[in-house]
Amino acid sequence: MDTEFNHVLDEIDQRVTDLRAWARFGGVTVLPPLLALGTSERVGSNWLSDTLRPIMPQHNEPFRQQLGSLHPLSPVNPYSIEVEQMPKALLGTLSWHGLVEFVLAKYSPVRQMLKETNLFFTARSLLRLFADAPVVVLTRSPLGVASSFARSRLFDRWRYADRYRQMATMTDAGSHERFAPLVPDDKPDELTALTRLIVLNTVLLADALDGRSYTHIRYETAVLDQPAAWAALDSLIPPQHFPMTPRPAAAGGDDLFATNNHKTSLAAQLSSAEAVQVIACTAQTLAVAADRVAPSVLERAATWLTGAEHYEVTGRPTTSPGSRSRVPSPPPVEVSYRHLHRVAWRNLLVSNAEYAGLLNALNAAGVANTQRDTHLLLVPMPHERGGRIHWSSERETWTISPGFAHHPAYWVTWIGAALFAAVNSARLPAHSELCALAAETTSSNHDYALGDAAQVTQTQAPYGIHHPVGNVQVWCGDGPPTPHGQPVQRWIHGAAWNTPATIDEVNRLRSRHLLGASRGVGVRLVRDQPQPFTRPTIAQASTALNTWIDSLTDRSRALDDLDMTIVRALQADVGLQTHV
């Protein structure tokens, strides 16, 4: 492979071409992911996820959530640029490798789904990274989105005032200046700001998709005529693989995250005046866009913004919906290992306090978690987006959201999980070991029962092992084969607070590349009997990480070869390496 890539796109395109050639030689067809792109948040994409979960591995907003805020491709970077215009110097070694892995890991014989919303000016970049991927556009009337935001106070909780200022800044000058009139910096009220952002994102997505085929599914259709919504997917999913009607999900415990409630009608919980305001602002902002995009783009965006006629305006609720009462915390439990099936299982999931301690130790040893806004060990999300571990630049230390020290760590990469295991004289369990554990125990905290992850201890702990299934899924020490030099991936097992917990779902094979992360995936440790291996020191671990990052400059190597360098350094349990 040519090692003198002048642009990250050159490497991505070449590796995808090589992957397809090798796959054809082996009689296999490699498919790009299905891009499910929402015109805003709260477009009700969970019905699609729940429907396709049994047949299609899914990734929820990794582009928007897992890129650091100053990454040149980040949708929340006020100065983001399109990927084709990105100078090589802006990407460090880890960032370059991470972007290549992000794309190549989504190509497989089984089509995967990648959901993204609120891409704004980075929609064109994502579409370029997956130039051959089929696209389904998920839309919802601004009236319905505004109702959902108002009901759960999301404008404040998700800092949409900051998002509005970001868009105003991005359109103040430069290549995005023509869109400035859509988001004038006139300090609008919440409904006006939200509606303008919805229209802007819709127009930008319609513009980015100009000349590219796509399938369109309305949220309103998914609620009122679900068979018609499914029919739109016929061209994307083989009929013999289409799932049966999913069971209605139980009501969740938190309006912020429990978006799986079954609906058969549409209501906008806004006052009549507010509903009129949203509809009028939509029309006004769309009219402003008329002179700034092609007529075909404007028509497409206008079509995506319809649907208000399907809602009954019911007025604001008399009481605001809140989260369920917090479950009383069980008494603290000390960390120990419990023997079951010839393996010693750590009794508790790894907590935020423990993981923050590891991050602080590594930071002191000279390993930064975030390098050129690509995250190595943890994706540090803001608290309102589910992040519980945060970097404090003032204190120069990792801190934890108050009250969450003893909750399970998530947003953890596999590299971070494996490193935590190694320095604690343990390893990550194999997928087969977790399947055996699941067969012996019962699940807890799943299907949005609590609306979030609970503390790592629970009242009833089978075999003394807390949350053996449920609360969060966990990283495995093994993973699928990596034919043709694809990125190394690792299995994820179990059920989380926001996923189903049927035995099929718990044991279903799904995987992520080594730098992937999720709000529902944490860490559990095991030790082999009779004695664990000797753990590396923090200094040795930091050396291994830095050595691996330095090795990523050699782009002539296969991706699995590059990844196996760090896998071997972190996994002393050699037996698992045969499963890579």
Predicted local confidence at residue 173, as pLDDT? 78
Predicted local confidence at residue 577, as pLDDT? 38
89-103, 309-323, 367-381, 468-482: the lowest-pLDDT one: 309-323
pLDDT band at 190 (very low <50, low <70, confident <90, very high): very high
Measured at the CA of 294, the angle between CA 293 and CA 299, to 5 degrees, comes to: 95
Comparing 8-243+267-313 with 337-577, is the CATH topology the same?
no
Domain boundary assignment for the chain: 8-243+267-313, 337-577
Average pLDDT of the segment spanning 101-105: 97
Average pLDDT, the chain: 89
pLDDT band at 576 (very low <50, low <70, confident <90, very high): very low
Average pLDDT of the segment spanning 412-427: 96
Predicted local confidence at residue 243, as pLDDT? 53
First-to-last CA distance in the chain?
Answer: 23
Residue matched to tokens 């009700």: 44
pLDDT band at 578 (very low <50, low <70, confident <90, very high): very low
Side-chain-facing half-sphere of 124: CA atoms under 13 Å: 16
E strand or H helix that includes residue 87: none
CA distance 288 to 291: 7
How is 435-479 classified by DSSP, letter by letter? HHHHHHS--BS-TTSSSS---S--S--GGG-S-SSBSSEEE-S--
What would be the CATH architecture of the domain defined by 337-577? Alpha-Beta Complex (3.90)
pLDDT band at 326 (very low <50, low <70, confident <90, very high): low
CA distance 28 to 571: 31
Predicted local confidence at residue 228, as pLDDT? 85
Average pLDDT of the segment spanning 227-247: 66
Beta bridge partner(s), residue 389: 400
- pLDDT one-digit tens code per residue, 265-297: 899 999 999 999 999 999 999 999 999 999 999
Top pLDDT among 463 and 327 is at 463
pLDDT band at 410 (very low <50, low <70, confident <90, very high): very high
- Angstrom distances, CA of residue 543 to CA of 356, 407, 577: 19, 29, 21
Residue 573 scores a pLDDT above 60: no
E strand or H helix that includes residue 139: strand 135-139
Predicted local confidence at residue 532, as pLDDT? 55
Q: Where are the alpha helices (DSSP H) in 219-368?
A: 219-224, 226-231, 272-289, 295-304, 352-364
Predicted local confidence at residue 175, as pLDDT? 84
Do residues 447 and 500 make contact, with C-beta atoms less than 8 angstroms apart? yes
Q: Is 315 left (phi over 0), alpha (psi -120 to 50) or beta?
A: left
Predicted local confidence at residue 460, as pLDDT? 85
Residue 373 scores a pLDDT above 80: yes
- pLDDT one-digit tens code per residue, 532-558: 567 789 999 999 999 999 999 999 999
CA distance 35 to 23: 22
Structure tokens at 276: 């009129």
Predicted local confidence at residue 168, as pLDDT? 93
Residue 324 scores a pLDDT above 60: no
**8-243+267-313 classified as CATH 3.40.1180:** no
Q: In 3D, which of 12, 16, 38 has the Cα closest to residue 214?
A: 38
Do residues 456 and 407 make contact, with C-beta atoms less than 8 angstroms apart? yes
pLDDT band at 141 (very low <50, low <70, confident <90, very high): very high
Residue 504 scores a pLDDT above 80: yes
Q: How large a percentage of the chain has pLDDT more than 90?
A: 72
Residue 455 scores a pLDDT above 50: yes
87-96, 123-132, 133-142, 224-233: the lowest-pLDDT one: 224-233
pLDDT band at 574 (very low <50, low <70, confident <90, very high): very low
> What are the two backbone dihedrals, phi and then psi, of residue 226, each rounded to the nearest 5 degrees?
-60, -40
- Is residue 153 exposed (0-12), middle (13-18) or buried (19+ Cβ within 10 Å)? middle
Residue 251 scores a pLDDT above 80: no
Predicted local confidence at residue 321, as pLDDT? 54
Top pLDDT among 138 and 227 is at 138
Q: How large a percentage of the chain has pLDDT more than 70?
A: 91
Residue 254 scores a pLDDT above 80: no
CA distance 376 to 68: 11
170-174, 313-317, 360-364, 429-433: the lowest-pLDDT one: 170-174
> What are the two backbone dihedrals, phi and then psi, of residue 52, each rounded to the nearest 5 degrees?
-95, -5
